[in-house]
A and B are shown apart, each in its own frame.
Chain A
């Protein structure tokens, strides 16, 4: 089964993603900052790294840069998760060779799982950088959106 490295500095989110990924049957290793992420990646050789961008010590962008310039990890698939919704940040991630760039405020937990499945199963990145669609058979319970009567 695929091995996923989850890099996330917030404990709760790490816990949540871990539980959800394990439910999908992935072997999971975690790291809570950029430094630890690089060390774990070299040691564990994961198939996929889910990488938070805003982290202490080394930022997600720098981690990705180092991964891509290191022979052992230059082909490792990477999904970036960020709170930065700016177009410039997305382009920066793409330029560094990210497989998928997700904006946290725009995706649900299930969207992330779908994205992971796609990247792991779909071979090379298809260049589609849009947020992954929800799995139709398992949509989020409700989706309250901005109201009409604002």
Chain B
């Protein structure tokens, strides 16, 4: 029961009591005036009774909303005074109306310790007043001390009952409140688990499934009851993109357990109970106890077949579009070549100049398509990249030899060195750095960096070096060219980013070359970066992890890797996207 309600009831009760006292006093005054000892006291009693009713109907109504407790205290004062007047008027402590005071004490007990103390205090004072009225007569006091003690005991008992009942009711309300909160939380998490669209699976330290939501049921085909308590590997049947079952060493849960960190995989597929394969994105997080020990894990998984399909279609579109567009571009380029060939056609010098420009633009266009195709292919190949073991030194040396012709055309000095030492003679012994990468792609990277160096170096030297530590090999292509500003460096390896300057506007480019380089190097587990200052040349470097040399097969891998015979003149650049279909 709310406190305000109790005050309201108390006040009303007292008003009624006041009314009864007033009416009955007046009635007695009218019907049997002889039975009243003191007429002035009687009028006072009736007045106080009327005052109680009056107070209730006026002031109490005004202040009950905001000050119910204050109003109840005021009302209680009126009532207490009235009762005491009644007792005094009807024979003091021996009056039958003394029971009214006992009732007041019990009622006060239900309103707490303060109310009890106040009424007890008033009781003692009243006894003192009565004893004084009887001139502190020893026999009178002796006769009424027992009554005083019983009255005070009643107050104590009332207070104790109130306290005990209160504690019980507080406990009860707390319990029901807490259980309400618990229910609410359970309901919330239940609603969350039920309605979340992703599969949720919680495993314990034994890697047994503890929680399995309806989305997980839908996706895996396992029902909640049979999934509960069994090893997650049975339920979450993970495969790689090319459909081989994940071994225990490749298990993402094991990796999460070992690393103690969350991880996300989107390159996996899951086989449902019914044998269907779904591409999923899997997010794993460890659950820690208070001792920072991993006690379990939460797996969130989502069907990403639709996303994968969109990605595939997009790549297919780019691939088809650039392939289809390359055909007419190749024709334009071929016809332009014919027109410029004196053996086939006759044109004047001015026309030849224009045609050369048109030809250069066409080649640029062809190259753009080529790069777009390469990127799409790279993104396609990312998971099934054909990586081989080969000697990087041989590849770099050969690439340098291939580019020498282009460098000579611009009167640039292109050199190959290893660990700072120049290697220009064929018989110099070169260190062997075995790496694992897609050889054709990596060759593109080296050629690309050297081509860039040649393109952006008006005059001076270009140096290609290879050096290694115990675990990584680094290739650096350093030029004395125009350099790159610090703000451009941070964007340099992004798709379609081109440094905007007079130099880059006159020198063509697609904005894809370095992005391709980065993708290729990162696919091979390495990194690529540049050190440069505007106007002071650039140094493009990439590093790759070194593999054990006994992984190198005896047979030279792939034609681009065959070292060129020493007597053969270096082949000029040949990666030109011309006459492409």
The residue of chain A having its C-beta at the shortest distance from the C-beta of B406 within the complex is A143
Bitwise interface map of B from 563 to 581 toward A, beta carbon under 8 Å scored 1, else 0: 0000001011111111111
Tell me the A116-147 residues at the B interface (CB within 8 Å). Answer: 129-134, 136, 139-147
Main secondary structure of the interface of A (DSSP, over half): loop
| Contact of A90 with B by CB under 8 A | yes
Q: Say yes or no: B343 contacts A133, CB within 8 Å.
A: no
CA distance A148 to B330 in the complex (A): 24
* Interface-side segment among A31-39, A40-48, A65-73, A100-108: A100-108
Do A148 and B363 have beta carbons less than 8 Å apart? no
- B344, B360, B488, B559: the one contacting A149 at CB < 8 Å is B488
Q: Does B480 make an interface contact (CB < 8 A)?
A: no
Question: Size band of the A side of the interface?
Answer: 35 or more
Cβ A23 vs Cβ B511 within 8 A:
no
Residue pair B571, A143 in contact (C-beta under 8 Å):
no
- Interface residues of B toward A: which range? 35 or more
Q: Which of B200-208, B424-432, B490-498 interfaces with chain A?
A: B490-498
- Please, what's the 1-or-0 string for B498-509, where 1 marks a CB less than 8 Å from any CB in chain A? 110000100111
Task: Contact check, A144 vs B498: say whether CB atoms are below 8 A apart.
Answer: no
Central interface residue in A12, A104, A150, by most chain B CB within 10 Å:
A150
A residues in contact with B498, CB < 8 Å = 147, 149-150
B578 and A136: CB pair below 8 A?
no
Return B103 CB to nearest CB of chain A, in Å: 97
Chain B residues within 8 Å of A148, by CB: 452-453, 455-456, 481, 484, 499, 504, 507, 509, 513-514, 538
CA separation between A136 and B440, bound complex, in Å?
25
Contact flag A149-B581 (CB < 8 Å), given A13-B334, A16-B335: no
The answer for the CA separation of A99 and B180 in the assembled complex, in Å, is: 86
Which one of A83, A87, A144 lies within 8 Å of B363 (CB-CB)?
A144
Inter-chain CA distance A13–B571, complex, in Å, is 26
Q: How far is the CA of A12 from the CA of B579 in the complex (A)?
A: 10
Which residues from 51 to 71 on chain B have a C-beta closer than 8 Å to any C-beta of chain A?
none
- A76 and B571 CA atoms in complex are apart in Å by 27
Asked whether, in the complex, the Cβ of A140 is within 8 Å of the Cβ of B453, the reply is no
Q: Tell whether A20 pairs with B341 under 8 Å between CB atoms, given A105-B370, A147-B509.
A: yes
| Candidates A17, A140, A141, A145; contact of B367 at CB < 8 Å | A145
Collect the chain A residues with CB atoms within 8 Å of residue B385's CB.
Answer: none
Q: CA A12 – CA B511 in complex, angstroms?
A: 30
Q: How far is the CB of A53 from chain B (nearest CB, A)?
A: 9
A145 touches B573 (CB 8 A): yes
Query: Which residues of chain B come closer than 8 Å to A105, judged between CB atoms?
Result: 370, 575, 577-578, 580
- B538 → chain A closest CB, angstroms: 8
- Taking a contact as CB atoms closer than 8 A, the residue among B363, B440, B488, B558 that contacts A142 in the complex is B363
Which residues of A have CB within 8 Å of B513?
A: 145-148, 150
Q: Are A150 and B504 in contact (CB under 8 A)?
A: no
Q: How far is the CA of A147 from the CA of B560 in the complex (A)?
A: 22
Q: A142-B363, A150-B493 are in contact. Are A110 and B574 (CB under 8 A)?
A: no
- Identity of the chain A residue whose Cβ is nearest the Cβ of B369 in the assembled complex: A105
When the two chains form their complex, are residues A150 and B512 in contact, meaning their CB atoms are under 8 A apart? Answer: yes
Contact of B579 among A109, A129, A130, A134 (CB under 8 A): A109
Q: A145-B455, A146-B371, A146-B510 are in contact. Are A87 and B558 (CB under 8 A)?
A: yes
| Cβ-closest chain B residue relative to A143 | B576
A83/B572 in contact, CB under 8 A: no
Q: For residues 81 through 115 of chain A, which have their beta carbon under 8 Å from a beta carbon of chain B?
A: 83, 85, 87, 90, 104-112
B334 A16 Cβ-Cβ under 8 A? yes
User: B512's closest neighbor in chain A, by CB?
Assistant: A150
Task: Assess the B507–A147 pair: CB atoms within 8 A.
Answer: yes
Contacts of B356 in A (CB 8 A): 141-142
With both chains docked as a complex, state the minimum distance between the C-beta of B1 and any C-beta of chain A, in angstroms.
Answer: 79
A105 to B578, CA, bound (A): 6
Which of A85, A130, A141 is within 8 Å of B359, CB to CB?
A141
Q: Which residues of A contact B569 (CB under 8 A)?
A: 133
How many Å lie between the Cα of A85 and that of B444 in the bound state? Answer: 13
- Chain B, residues 323-351, CB within 8 Å of chain A (1/0): the string is 10001101100110110110110000000
Contacts of B481 in A (CB 8 A): 148
A62 CB within 8 Å of chain B: no
A140 touches B571 (CB 8 A): no
A19 to B338 Cα, complex, angstroms:
7
Q: A87-B558, A104-B581, A109-B579 known; A12 and B331 CB under 8 Å?
A: yes
Q: When A142-B356, A145-B575, A148-B509 are in contact, do A16 and B452 touch as well, CB less than 8 Å?
A: no
Contact at B559–A87, with CB atoms within 8 Å? yes
- Rounded to whole Å, the gap between the CB of A42 and the closest CB of chain B is 26
Complex CA–CA separation, A54 to B440 (angstroms): 22
Q: Shortest CB–CB separation between residue B344 and chain A, in angstroms?
A: 4
Is B331 a contact partner of A10 (Cβ separation < 8 A)? yes
Asked whether A106 and B576 contact (CB < 8 A) given A12-B331, A23-B344, A141-B360, the answer is yes
| Known A13-B579, A109-B579, A142-B356; further 20 A-B contacts with Cβ < 8 A | A10-B331, A12-B330, A16-B334, A17-B334, A20-B337, A20-B344, A106-B576, A107-B576, A109-B334, A111-B578, A130-B560, A131-B571, A132-B574, A133-B571, A146-B512, A147-B498, A148-B455, A148-B507, A149-B499, A150-B497
Q: Which 8 A-B pairs have the closest CB atoms?
A: A147-B509, A146-B513, A150-B514, A149-B499, A12-B331, A16-B334, A148-B452, A144-B508
- Which residues on A are within 8 Å of B, measured CB to CB? 10, 12-13, 16-17, 19-20, 23-24, 52, 54, 83, 85, 87, 90, 104-112, 129-134, 136, 139-150
B residues in contact (CB < 8 Å) with A? 323, 327-328, 330-331, 334-335, 337-338, 340-341, 343-344, 356, 359-360, 363-364, 367, 370-371, 405-406, 409, 440, 448, 451-453, 455-456, 481, 484, 488, 492-493, 497-499, 504, 507-517, 538, 558-560, 562, 569, 571-581
